Chain A
């Protein structure tokens, strides 16, 4: 989707793209054969590693809480360079270490990096003039982190007892309660 966007639209580009994806993984507590993926891409003249970090860290602070600590650490993805994974402070133990975060105090939130110049070049974008960053994240994992949901299968059971826990402010209009 990022490639298609780059091929169709000129910079500046700032997109977020959700979509359902499939993987040949049987269901267990942390895997589902079908899940959602949210990708993002920003390309413009003058985008730097600082903008990249700032944007995603701001997301984490807005999504979790303003005092949430985040960290970026090296990783490898073929389409980004430098590549990074972003961790947020574990929402269960607030960084103290617990079984959910395997005692690390951190939860892996997304994979990301500066768009590899070869990607830009292959899409006809001048990689000397333009730079950018991209990321991908799994909302199921993040929701589980945020709400303390222990098993990904709960997200696919559509159990009303589960769904109504997240209906605050919505779903008030009918009898399905």
Chain B
């Protein structure tokens, strides 16, 4: 919502500082998005009187004017200015730009010689000053200001637009009166509608505007026009006035100026008058040409199926019975609350008007606007709910305004069709509840003062306050809404913010968040950075979940796995010439199932490049990570993300490992990855494991060993197809609990090892916690284990 500072000033009867006003509104009412100065770029323009007009010696269409600019222009006395405008007259006042003045748009005026005569500055048209489209002549001024006065000081064009972010709950702020009311509450003062200026060229006074309107339930006749309200659900209240004998024309400058200041293009005096009331009082009005109504009648009814109307924007629209239409005896003339037809529009030929002032049901308007994809200043306001009780005042204001700017006669008092009249609602406010919620005691007198300041009517009743809610506040429905009014009018900043004591909550920490935190800690410790990828993409499997309303075909599915997204991130880093990359992600993955789609949390990591940072003392290149680094990180990740799972070599020949739950279910995998890699990139590996939410047991202390260990190194020959894990398993099983620890420390292929075999060396640590082991005992254990290896796996000890 754009409000004009000057317009607010007119309502408040005082001057305002635009920035300070914006601050007050932000802190007490609604956020101000911007304060935009209007016509502040006319500071160099001054008022000048043309003293004498002569023919230009060398040009027929130009004149040579002697101009009194009050000393502006350099010489101190009158200056000579060449002028091309046909309307220049001696004795009149015009805006004058002296040499050196900067015009709107930033052009600096130079001294120029025009057809052999030097011109000291320029007399300006409205267009040159950015004040309108008129470029036919220079702008004649009707002002008492002396020559030399700054134009912006003499002519009320300098203004500020204050752009307010009005929340949906506050339709009352969609007009100047509503904003002024809030400012009056904050700054003090009262809001009074400014008098409508009656210019010298005006017009007959309008008829009985002071007479009360004629209240009828749903049908009546006003000045020969039959009005029927057949859709009271869509239109609870409909007022209409007939004004005859108007003269449609341009609006007076003050009216056009008001609308321009809020970004509206002036159209003609009738439309401008209705728009003025809309922006002043938040009452959308519609004036339409009586001569074009068949019947003549005004019927408010649901539209018929397939009924057509060509709206003001020239588009043919098809209506449905869900929409309310204002019709004549034959067809719709207005899509109620949204837009009128081109046909019934007010034109320069219009003399007799029907002026509509209605309340349309907000949800009906919202649906109509959506269905037709057509919105307007009116629909915007009806959707949010206008002041049902303020309609008579708004209509009266509009009739007065039309009378002042377009003449015309009101022969009959306006009609007011209101089948089910309602009154202001009353809400009870308990002062002690205000204190309970806001935390500071608030005097009853202060409550009354604050609420009254924005239009509530307050009366004490049984220890409570009976608060009558004005019609323009549809958002105030219950006691707490009044408490908010109290809080914001006092100012949120007026409340202390010292931390007090509090009780700890009953809600336990979420195990899943704790599990994620443990995983993050583990992976960060291992040198991984946390990546964030977008869970949307092309389908990455047959059971990918499709999105109903995708942004694009490439983002039409939810991910099934995390790794593909991470691989894209690695490629992004490769593109930036990064070779050493470790990324992980903890995120949600999705699958369709025959029932509903499922989602769960997963952990994935990708790694490529050097195993560790280089050290200056080594010189040689640090080795790149290989499949065993992958296994290492996978083990660490599984231990924390899916405790209790064991790693097994993946079947299928591609290498890698899977993580298997005790029940046999595979919940994770790790393997070498394909990617769009530059030639200098190291191999890329990745793992992904489902996050199993467990509550880890606290670690249990085991007594530290007091007995010395017995250690043995054994080198074994493993035939192809036998892996070290299988060997370790047999060793551990057959040696029993005295084998306290088992580590692979070497692998060798080559001379001395039979073809198709490899040599793998284990370091075995034996220990009995209660006694000292004898050497012979250990040798026997080891011999038994080696025998089992030979029997089960064909693995022998390497000789020599």
**Is the CB–CB distance between A10 and B506 below 8 Å?**
yes
- List A104-158 residues whose CB lies under 8 Å from chain B: 114, 116-117, 131, 155-158
Interface string of A76-99 (1 = CB under 8 A from B): 100001111100000000000000
Residue of A nearest to B440 (CB): A50
Interface string of A33-70 (1 = CB under 8 A from B): 11000000010100111110111011000000000001
Q: How far is it, in angstroms, between the C-alpha of A174 and the C-alpha of B525 when the chains are bound?
A: 8
**Is the CB–CB distance between A174 and B588 below 8 Å?**
no
Contacts of A161 in B (CB 8 A): 576, 578
Residue of A nearest to B499 (CB): A54
Q: How far is it, in angstroms, between the C-alpha of A117 and the C-alpha of B613 when the chains are bound?
A: 58
Q: How far is it, in angstroms, between the C-alpha of A75 and the C-alpha of B500 when the chains are bound?
A: 25
**Is the CB–CB distance between A54 and B534 below 8 Å?**
no
Given contacts A12-B504, A160-B581, A161-B576, is CB(A50)–CB(B528) below 8 Å?
no
Q: How far is it, in angstroms, between the C-alpha of A58 and the C-alpha of B498 when the chains are bound?
A: 9
**Is the CB–CB distance between B500 and A12 below 8 Å?**
no
Say yes or no: is A15 at the interface (Cβ < 8 Å to chain B).
yes
Q: Per a CB cutoff under 8 Å, which of A57, A82, A174 touches B487?
A: A82
**Is the CB–CB distance between A84 and B551 below 8 Å?**
no
**Chain A: interface size category:** 35 or more
Q: How far is it, in angstroms, between the C-alpha of A5 and the C-alpha of B510 when the chains are bound?
A: 11
**Is the CB–CB distance between A160 and B578 below 8 Å?**
yes
**Is the CB–CB distance between A75 and B31 below 8 Å?**
yes
Q: How far is it, in angstroms, between the C-alpha of A77 and the C-alpha of B492 when the chains are bound?
A: 16
Residue of B nearest to A131 (CB): B437
**Is the CB–CB distance between B572 and A157 below 8 Å?**
yes
Given contacts A14-B502, A26-B551, A71-B493, is CB(A175)–CB(B439) below 8 Å?
no
Q: How far is it, in angstroms, between the C-alpha of A72 and the C-alpha of B493 when the chains are bound?
A: 6
Contacts of B348 in A (CB 8 A): none
Q: How far is it, in angstroms, between the C-alpha of A117 and the C-alpha of B498 when the chains are bound?
A: 24
Q: Per a CB cutoff under 8 Å, which of A57, A73, A117, A163 touches B497?
A: A57
**Is the CB–CB distance between B576 and A159 below 8 Å?**
yes
Residue of B nearest to A72 (CB): B492
Q: How far is it, in angstroms, between the C-alpha of A164 and the C-alpha of B611 when the chains are bound?
A: 17
**Is the CB–CB distance between B29 and A160 below 8 Å?**
no
Residue of A nearest to B498 (CB): A54
User: Closest Cβ of chain B: how far from A147's Cβ, in Å?
Assistant: 15
**Is the CB–CB distance between B484 and A12 below 8 Å?**
no
Interface string of B472-495 (1 = CB under 8 A from A): 000000101101100110001101
Q: Per a CB cutoff under 8 Å, which of A42, A48, A155, A174 touches B526?
A: A174
**Is the CB–CB distance between B506 and A9 below 8 Å?**
yes
**Is the CB–CB distance between A82 and B569 below 8 Å?**
no
Q: How far is it, in angstroms, between the C-alpha of A8 and the C-alpha of B510 when the chains are bound?
A: 13
Residue of A nearest to B438 (CB): A49
Contacts of B625 in A (CB 8 A): 175
Q: Per a CB cutoff under 8 Å, which of A5, A11, A76, A156 touches B532?
A: A156
**Is the CB–CB distance between B529 and A160 below 8 Å?**
yes
Say yes or no: is B27 at the interface (Cβ < 8 Å to chain A).
yes
Q: How far is it, in angstroms, between the C-alpha of A72 and the C-alpha of B494 when the chains are bound?
A: 10
Residue of A nearest to B492 (CB): A72
Q: How far is it, in angstroms, between the C-alpha of A50 and the C-alpha of B484 when the chains are bound?
A: 14
Say yes or no: is B702 at the interface (Cβ < 8 Å to chain A).
no
Q: How far is it, in angstroms, between the C-alpha of A73 and the C-alpha of B569 when the chains are bound?
A: 41
Q: Select the stretch in B153-161, B162-170, B646-654 that faces chain A.
A: B162-170
Chain A CB count within 10 A is highest, among B499, B505, B530, B573, for B505
- List B31-61 residues whose CB lies under 8 Å from chain A: 31, 34
Q: How far is it, in angstroms, between the C-alpha of A38 and the C-alpha of B438 when the chains are bound?
A: 25
Say yes or no: is B503 at the interface (Cβ < 8 Å to chain A).
yes
Q: How far is it, in angstroms, between the C-alpha of A10 and the C-alpha of B503 when the chains are bound?
A: 13
Contacts of A164 in B (CB 8 A): 529
**Is the CB–CB distance between B505 and A173 below 8 Å?**
no
Q: How far is it, in angstroms, between the C-alpha of A53 and the C-alpha of B524 when the chains are bound?
A: 35
User: Closest Cβ of chain B: how far from A32's Cβ, in Å?
Assistant: 8
**Is the CB–CB distance between B534 and A34 below 8 Å?**
yes
Interface of B is mostly: loop
**Is the CB–CB distance between A74 and B437 below 8 Å?**
no
Say yes or no: is A29 at the interface (Cβ < 8 Å to chain B).
no
Q: How far is it, in angstroms, between the C-alpha of A74 and the C-alpha of B168 when the chains are bound?
A: 13
Query: By the criterion of a CB under 8 Å from any partner CB, how many residues of chain B are at the interface?
Result: 74
Contacts of A71 in B (CB 8 A): 27, 492-493
User: Closest Cβ of chain A: how far from B552's Cβ, in Å?
Assistant: 8
Say yes or no: is A167 at the interface (Cβ < 8 Å to chain B).
yes
Contacts of A49 in B (CB 8 A): 437-439, 487, 495
Given contacts A24-B551, A50-B439, A114-B437, is CB(A171)–CB(B498) below 8 Å?
no
**Is the CB–CB distance between B609 and A176 below 8 Å?**
yes
Say yes or no: is A3 at the interface (Cβ < 8 Å to chain B).
no
Contacts of B483 in A (CB 8 A): 81-82
**Is the CB–CB distance between B588 and A20 below 8 Å?**
yes
Q: How far is it, in angstroms, between the C-alpha of A44 and the C-alpha of B436 when the chains are bound?
A: 12
Contacts of B581 in A (CB 8 A): 160, 176
**Is the CB–CB distance between A173 and B525 below 8 Å?**
yes
**Is the CB–CB distance between A175 and B572 below 8 Å?**
no
Contacts of B487 in A (CB 8 A): 49, 82
Q: How far is it, in angstroms, between the C-alpha of A33 and the C-alpha of B556 when the chains are bound?
A: 12
Contacts of B613 in A (CB 8 A): 174-175, 177
Q: Per a CB cutoff under 8 Å, which of B488, B505, B513, B555 touches A82?
A: B488
**Is the CB–CB distance between B535 and A76 below 8 Å?**
no
**Is the CB–CB distance between A73 and B26 below 8 Å?**
yes
Contacts of B167 in A (CB 8 A): 75-76
Interface string of B555-596 (1 = CB under 8 A from A): 100000000001001001100101011110001100000000
Residue of B nearest to A80 (CB): B484
Q: Per a CB cutoff under 8 Å, which of A58, A102, A173 touches B499?
A: A58
Contacts of B200 in A (CB 8 A): none
**Is the CB–CB distance between B484 and A83 below 8 Å?**
yes
**Is the CB–CB distance between B506 and A53 below 8 Å?**
no
Contacts of A57 in B (CB 8 A): 497
User: Closest Cβ of chain A: how far from B107's Cβ, in Å?
Assistant: 27
Q: Per a CB cutoff under 8 Å, which of A15, A33, A170 touches B536?
A: A33
**Is the CB–CB distance between A9 and B507 below 8 Å?**
yes
**Is the CB–CB distance between B505 and A14 below 8 Å?**
yes
Q: How far is it, in angstroms, between the C-alpha of A157 and the C-alpha of B570 when the chains are bound?
A: 10
Contacts of B438 in A (CB 8 A): 48-50
User: Closest Cβ of chain A: how far from B209's Cβ, in Å?
Assistant: 37
User: Closest Cβ of chain A: how far from B439's Cβ, in Å?
Assistant: 3
**Is the CB–CB distance between B497 and A175 below 8 Å?**
no
Say yes or no: is B496 at the interface (Cβ < 8 Å to chain A).
yes
Chain B CB count within 10 A is highest, among A32, A49, A51, for A49
User: Closest Cβ of chain B: how far from A109's Cβ, in Å?
Assistant: 13
Given contacts A12-B505, A33-B536, A175-B622, is CB(A167)–CB(B529) below 8 Å?
yes
Q: How far is it, in angstroms, between the C-alpha of A53 and the C-alpha of B587 when the chains are bound?
A: 33
Say yes or no: is B237 at the interface (Cβ < 8 Å to chain A).
no
- List B132-179 residues whose CB lies under 8 Å from chain A: 167-170
**Is the CB–CB distance between A73 and B526 below 8 Å?**
no
Q: How far is it, in angstroms, between the C-alpha of A177 and the C-alpha of B500 when the chains are bound?
A: 45
Residue of B nearest to A106 (CB): B26
Q: Would you list the 5 A-B pairs with minimal beta carbon distance, nearest first?
A: A174-B527, A48-B439, A76-B167, A14-B505, A158-B531
| Apart from A13-B507, A72-B493, A74-B484, 16 more pairs, CB < 8 Å | A24-B549, A34-B534, A49-B487, A51-B439, A55-B499, A71-B493, A72-B492, A74-B30, A76-B170, A82-B484, A102-B34, A158-B532, A160-B576, A174-B526, A174-B528, A175-B580
A–B Cβ pairs within 8 angstroms, 22 of them: A5-B507, A12-B502, A18-B513, A26-B551, A33-B534, A48-B439, A49-B437, A50-B496, A54-B497, A57-B497, A58-B499, A71-B493, A73-B31, A74-B488, A102-B34, A114-B437, A171-B524, A173-B526, A174-B527, A174-B613, A176-B527, A176-B581
Measured CB to CB, the residues of A under 8 A from B are: 5, 8-15, 18, 20, 24, 26, 32-34, 42, 44, 47-51, 53-55, 57-58, 70-76, 81-85, 102, 114, 116-117, 131, 155-161, 163-164, 167, 170-177
Measured CB to CB, the residues of B under 8 A from A are: 26-31, 34, 167-170, 436-440, 478, 480-481, 483-484, 487-488, 492-493, 495-500, 502-507, 513, 524-536, 549, 551, 555, 566, 569, 572-573, 576, 578, 580-583, 587-588, 607, 609-613, 622, 625
